[in-house]
Amino acid sequence: MKITDPAAIQRCYHALVARSPEHVGAFYAAVKTTGIFCLPTCRARKPKVENVDFFSDIKEPLALGFRPCKVCRPTENAPDVPPQVARAVALVREQPKRRIQDGELRELGISPELVRRWFQKHHGFSFQAYQRMLRINLAMSELKDGRSTTDVALDSGYESLSGFAYTYKKMTGNAPSQGAQQLVLHRFTTPLGPMFVCASENGVCLLEFTDRRMLETEFRDLQRLFKARILAGENAHTREAEVQIAEYFEGKRRQFSVTLDAPGSDFQRGVWNALRAMKFGEVTHYADLAARLGAPNSVRAVAGANGANRIAIIIPCHRIIGKDGSLTGYGGGLARKEWLLAHELQNR
């Protein structure tokens, strides 16, 4: 979103001139005279305030045709989790059954307000809600392993079974005795910006950049298809996906072995398997992919299956280009698509 408040614009401009690292991720500066957008820390010569627009996220300057700066590389150096937030999250992961209160955060030099704002902006829920989700995720696993509801409830910090049962049902849609399918959602950072990875107990079902426009629709579809709620958390599949994606960006991995659990029709899965069978750095177009599948008259259906892919990079829909060699649409944005293709060409 474009920042229009005059006071906010002045704050952004002062941060840009000061090359303030604290504001990385808070805004992007798009220079109207050059058509380039930058991070607040960019070393390039600073424009006059009247020649720059400020945006609160990366997708709008890209959509408006601004090019990523070659000095600060905003698409490659997108904001990581702020140090204070990372410390708060680490506390929860170390002791997922314990409630971390605001007072404890302050004693550790962590601003609860900063943590709360970051969670609301990037996840749409509070830090306290994040803690509850992790506790319920862990409780679900323990119940499936045969532990009693009473033991799990008390061990999770609940003083009564009724309180535990109420929270459990509110988050999962089922009573503790009924069990529930588990979809966990984890956010991690890549050189092209933060991504969400979502997984069932059987494998990864979603991997998308967090600014993908259709993300909320994809979340709703997954919850409907799996008949499950999505809760913040991790499992073996999300952790393995994060490791393999990091290796991909480091140029160390050309193929992925992480287990997938991608719901779709037989035709869609056939298209996705054909994409995964492509060589690293190879590109193709819809007509060629349809021919590979033995369905040369199904070009439009192939395009639809490609667009329905929810697992970016691992199912490499970014390798689809126009028949004339031009870049075509990509859910993560054309700047990212161009980067991914160049990265694979360089490392194949």
Rama region for 19: left / alpha / beta (φ>0; ψ in -120 to 50; rest): left
pLDDT for position 150: 78
Burial of 103 (0-12, 13-18, 19+ CB in 10 A): exposed
Same domain membership, residue 236 and residue 280: no
What are the backbone dihedrals phi and psi of residue 207, each rounded to the nearest 5 degrees, phi first?
Answer: -145, 110
pTM over 0.75? The answer is no
pLDDT for position 152: 74
Per the structure, the count of domains in the chain is 4
Q: What is the pLDDT of residues 258-297, one digit of tens each?
A: 999 999 999 999 999 999 999 999 999 999 999 999 988 9
Query: Annotated catalytic sites, by residue?
Result: 317
Does residue 260 belong to any structural domain of this protein? no
Q: What is the pLDDT of residues 202-243, one digit of tens each?
A: 999 999 988 787 888 999 999 899 988 888 888 999 999 999
Same domain membership, residue 167 and residue 211: no
pLDDT for position 178: 66
Say which CATH number the domain at 208 has: 3.30.160
Please give the DSSP secondary-structure letter assigned to residue 319: G
Domain boundary at 24, 44, 68, which?
A: 68
Range of the domain at 123: 83-172
Average pLDDT, the chain: 87
Residue carrying the six token digits 């490392």: 347
Distances (CA, A) of 261 to 77, 230, 257: 30, 15, 13
C-alpha span between 333 and 61 (Å, rounded): 11
Domain boundary at 131, 152, 172, which?
A: 172
CB atoms < 10 A from the CB of 172, how many?
21
pLDDT for position 78: 56
C-alpha span between 339 and 99 (Å, rounded): 41
Same domain membership, residue 94 and residue 57: no
Say which CATH number the domain at 38 has: 3.40.10.10
Q: What is the pLDDT of residues 88-135, one digit of tens each?
A: 988 888 888 888 899 999 999 999 998 988 888 777 778 888 888 888
Does residue 198 belong to any structural domain of this protein? yes
Same domain membership, residue 139 and residue 87: yes
